[in-house]
Amino acid sequence: MVLTPEQSAEVSQQLPQALEGLRTYTGASEFHFTDIYSGKRAFANVPEETRLNLFAFMAFIFTTYRFPIIVQTLDPDNASYKSFREAFPEKLANFKMSRPGDAALLMLLCRTKWFLREQGITTDTAARVFVDEGERFMKHGNAINLQTFAEVFEGGLICFSDSRRVPHIQLADFAAFSLNRTQWLLGKPTLSPFDAALVQILSPVSWNYVNLKQIILPADWWSSSPNRPPN
């Protein structure tokens, strides 16, 4: 997900206020969208309507600011992954190409580099890159220096951060959740009232994904099986 400096500054100012409201009403310290969807942990006693409103709040932010979202998925058995591995050494900095998760992240960084270059980003206007910390990868406060990205990433740095300390990462979490959940729901023969409402809320966010093909489906798609595309 890409934010302009102005958008980043506004998020830095407003998202903590939204998180404080979230904490007041639910006790949660973060927007954990999987938990919000399933009504678990801090959201176990939160009504469905309130949980849907949380998704609507995030969807409003994305459709208002039109954050570009760049997507990279990876199938370990896909030929493109094998060719990608062959183009790089087994280990590049902290990335191991034999690990699909590492390779997918590196591929995403490459896509982001190409996107920023197309937008006219240079070393003078280079972006700051933050990645959600991981148990298997790097923890908060660590960074990888890859000079091959230096023309669009400030200093060639890929920084790893805790989403509680860099709340912008929670926006990226929403972007990932929206895509994954929508794709999963599209595969279901019928939808519950909650899921049907969620699809309506998340659908406008689909226009933010800049490298995905858009397919427009009728609102009553689930009610008439002949209208469903093949899996």
- pLDDT tens per residue, range 91-145: 888 888 888 888 889 989 999 999 999 999 999 999 999 999 976 678 899 999 9
Q: What sign results for the dihedral spanned by CA atoms 17, 23, 29, 35?
A: negative
Does the pLDDT value for residue 229 go beyond 70?
A: no
Which of residues 205 and 227 earns the better pLDDT score? 205
CA angle 91, 95, 97 (to 5 degrees): 60
Are 127 and 1 in contact, with CB atoms under 8 Å apart?
Answer: no
Spatial separation of the C-alpha atoms in residues 8 and 48, rounded to whole Å: 30
pLDDT level of residue 68 (50, 70, 90 thresholds): very high
Mean pLDDT of 4-33: 92
Spatial separation of the C-alpha atoms in residues 178 and 205, rounded to whole Å: 8
